[in-house]
Structure 1
Amino acid sequence: MTRATRAEDPKARAPLRAGPALAPAVFRELRRTMELACFKWDVQVGDTTALAPFPLFLDEATWAHLGGLAERLTRETLAAEREILDRPALQRRIWLPPALQRLFRRAAAARPTPSAARVMRFDFHFTTEGWRISEVNSDVPGGFTEATHFTALVAGCFPGTRAAGDPTKRLVDALLGRARDEGAIALLSAPGFMEDHQVVTHLAKQLRDRGAAAFCASPAHVRFHDGRAHLISAEYHGPLGALVRFYQAEWLPRLPRAVDWEPLFVGGRTPVSNPGTAALSESKRLPLVWDELGARLDTWRRLLPETRDPRDAPWLRDDGWILKSAYCNTGDTVSMRPHMTALEWANLALRVSLAPSGWVAQRKFVTVPLETPLGPMLPCIGVYTVDGRAAGAYGRVTEKPFIDAGATDVAVLIAEERP
């Protein structure tokens, strides 16, 4: 794969800017509302707020541009998935877990389980070369309560602004359309992960507010009979009209044998969001097989930095490269030598050298910093698509050169006039 060379002129216009800080009393009340009414239970992480006291402003043209890019990226991603689903050799190259490879080999006879709604989130960064993306969160994208409730609350403090869509409403609309009257909706997450519980609890309440029977559960609570899912729990015992799988695909094969998780991917008749095929494009090694696909991936090639197998990149001697694992989650394995101790770097180099097929090397880009009420920060705009249509934005800012779980959530607002 060759490095993208087409670039936008970052000096053409300022595509985003930080707004002023909210008054301390207003921000305290907003945080309290998020914590007590909107299932944002981690508003404070140590001594640091997880919510920014200021918004990011985009103009209408910039939001339309990003939404259009995300929709094109979605179409290209789905086309790539369709090809890789039928090509086991490519599944091995993207480091798809062997248990999932075996499942997808059965897909021709057993059919992939249908989709209840397909959600993706593309993370955009405004760089010295224009807009770039770092990745797609294709399997279990989060951030819904922040992108919906937090954004709406902050927008209410700034007349002349509005939210960039509502990804929760779009997802709930799609789920209700697929479930119809065929049963309740179960939202599955992994026990012990508070961030995941926040997401499914938020979505379950939105579904209940729309009249649906919705229950939070784990995969161990689901049984399949003739391909139809049933929930077996203290709250509900009966058929399901749809499932929300907020449980990483690569984690499912580690569950005990008694857990009936395979119909979430293949052979199920109850629609699932996200469908198991999302695991194919969640791999950060996907760009390594682009040249072997017939699908046109022009938007991906233009926006994603050059990505290589670690054996084909000079990352050991060139700090212009970063490393990440194939199924990196919330930036947990994104690694840059200048931001690591010598021991951390040595341990990472050993891990990568022992299993290079599970990692990628990606060229760094330089994100243009924004002046904010908290000082210079680097922004990331996550653009959701639901069933192929742009649906909203999830903003984060950080002082680090990459986005990870420590980034601060920030409301992204469309400024209809300059506030």
Structure 2
Amino acid sequence: MSRAAQAEDPPRCVPLRAGPVLERAAFHELRRTMELSCFKWDVQVGDTTALAPFPLLLDAATWAHLADLAERLTHETLAAEQEILHRPALQRRISLPRAHQRLFGPGAPPTPAAARVMRFDFHFTTEGWRVSEVNSDVPGGYTEATHLPALMAGFFPGTRAAGDPTKHLVDALLGAAQDLGSLALLSAPGFMEDHQVIAHLARELRDRGAAAVCASPDHIRFHDGRAHLVSAQQGGPLGAIVRFYQAEWFPRLPSAVDWAPLFVGGRTPVCNPGIAALSESKRLPLVWDELGARLDTWRRLLPETRDPRDAPWARDDGWILKSAYCNTGDTVSMRPHMTPLQWATLALRVSLAPSGWVAQRRFVTVPLETPIGPRLPCIGVYTVDGRAAGVYGRVTEKPFIDGAATDAAVLITETDA
């Protein structure tokens, strides 16, 4: 059982606010630019825009604070991974897929990292800043965190983007690939939202003079630990691989696909390497007390997290449920926001397989008044190789962030703005 997060001082004021809405013509042009030039292909979801027509404004002092917290969290996360890598019992506790447990055995060196990218989701709550989770396996949102703030800042003098996670990542990838050849960017066929991420990164790499190819895992072959692209047009080993393919999906691939060197024993550096699957598990807090690594920042910012068998979630709506490898909020569940049948079905699933779930105490996010009504914001802070690199902003009417949340540019203002 993890220890309860230590509350910060109650907030005196909200260090985040919504800016004014863009004029209709300006917002239409911004949306069109994101769609046609920035690989944001899902600017419209049904009848609703996926982009907020206003920015989120964060003062410079608060941004420096969040950047520092994210860097501390990154250091602690990497330390925890290194311990769990050599402890099979803990791998089972965090519900790491069995196929991965077999890989991370004694004498199997983890594949080197071309870069390590994490995104920590911060929420400003009635108790101060809290973190709901880290996206450490395949964090996305690069074009929304790079181009959307840059475009929005042009309409708001005196503001700037928090950073450029795309540039930081591309710099790291080019440094890792060096002169060894092309870079392959992997995603799952048929998932447009994933392909637009690697298409965006591939263009940025090509603009920097690199040969970048969008592919899927079955397009890669390994020889003596070096990755090669299966293509008559490409020869020689790859310089690096960008893996935008979720770790838990690999065991479902046909046996002919050799994906293990993306995790262990590979000589071609990978972003993110398979070891990231260890910290992606939402059950990681359940083994904190068994680690030697200091996790002070995590303990302070993450709400209390328990095994479902040790939490009163069935009778107390102050708890939420999520699966160990929840993605984009797809399994985050709260009884007040579900039908009785949905809740009963979920309760049965959790009761039958509790080791694949966690229960986490709810926090209350402070709502923002925006031009489109009250919204709850999420500030996703990226780190690339341990350094804060930018922000992915989202707003929602729900008490949690999921795939239906609206992307919002986060702009930094001076403290007294």
Question: What range is the shorter-chain TM-score in?
Answer: over 0.9
Residues 225-257 of structure 1: per-residue CA shift (max 9 Å, x gap): 000010113653432000000000010111000
Give deviations 1:87-144, integer Å, cap 9, x for gaps: 0000000000000000001xx4231110000000000000000000000000000000
Q: Do 2:14 and 2:124's aligned partners in 1 also have CA atoms closer than 8 Å?
A: no
- TM-score, normalised to structure 1, is 0.98
1:233 and 1:290 mapped to 2: Cα distance? 45
- Whether 1:282 aligns to 2:280 is yes
| 1:25-44 equivalence runs, <5 A | 25-44=25-44
Q: Runs ≥4 in structure 1, deviation > 4 angstroms?
A: none
Name which of 214, 221, 224 aligns with 1:216: 214
Residue 2 of structure 1 aligns with which residue? 3
Quick check: 1:147 aligned with 2:145?
Answer: yes
For the Cα contact (< 8 Å) 1:160–1:418, is it kept in 2? no
> Matched residues in 1 for 2:232 and 2:122: separation?
42
- Secondary structure (helix, strand or coil) at the match of 2:358 reads strand
Q: For residues 141 and 234 of structure 1, what CA distance do their matches in structure 2 show?
A: 31
Deviations 1:260-284 (A, max 9, x none): 1000001100000001110000000
Question: What SS does the corresponding residue of 1:35 show, helix, strand or coil?
Answer: helix
Is contact 1:71–1:390 with CA below 8 Å preserved after alignment?
A: yes
Deviations 1:188-217 (A, max 9, x none): 001111110010000000000000000000
2:266 corresponds to 1:265 = no
Q: Does 1:23 align with 2:13?
A: no
Aligned-pair distance for 1:8? 2.8
The secondary structure found in structure 1 opposite 2:239 is strand
1:304 is aligned to 302
Please show how residues 171-250 of structure 1 align to structure 2 within 5 Å: 171-233=169-231, 236-250=234-248
- In the superposition, the TM-score normalised over structure 2's length comes to 0.98
Which amino acid letter does the alignment assign opposite residue 72 of structure 2?
R
2:168 aligned to which of 155, 170, 187: 170
Give, in whole Å, the separation in 2 of the partners of 1:409 and 1:113: 33
Aligned-partner residue type, residue 141 of structure 1: P
Residue identity matched to 1:32: R
Contact 2:111 2:267 in 1 (8 A): yes
After TM superposition, the structure 1 = structure 2 runs for residues 6-405 of structure 1, keeping only pairs within 5 Å, are 6-11=7-12, 13-105=13-105, 108-233=106-231, 236-405=234-403
Residue aligned with 2:104, SS = helix
Contact 1:183–1:239, Cα closer than 8 Å, also in 2:
yes
C-alpha distance in 1 between matches for 2:7 and 2:16:
21
What is the letter of the counterpart of residue 320 of structure 2?
I
Q: Cα offset for 1:417?
A: 7.3
Q: Find the aligned partners of 2:306 and 2:382 in 1 and give their Cα distance.
A: 26
Aligned-partner residue type, residue 103 of structure 1: L
Percentage of pairs with the same residue: 82
SS in 2 for 1:240: coil
Distance in 2, matches of 1:110 and 1:285, equals 24
Residue aligned with 1:391, SS: strand
Task: Please say if residues 215 and 235 of structure 1, whose CA atoms lie closer than 8 Å, have aligned partners that are also in contact.
Answer: no
Counterpart residue type for residue 339 of structure 2: T
Query: Which ranges in structure 2 are unaligned for 5 or more consecutive residues?
Result: none
State the Cα distance separating 1:4 from its structure 2 match: 1.5
- Deviation (angstroms), 1:418: 6.9
Q: CA RMSD in A?
A: 1.0
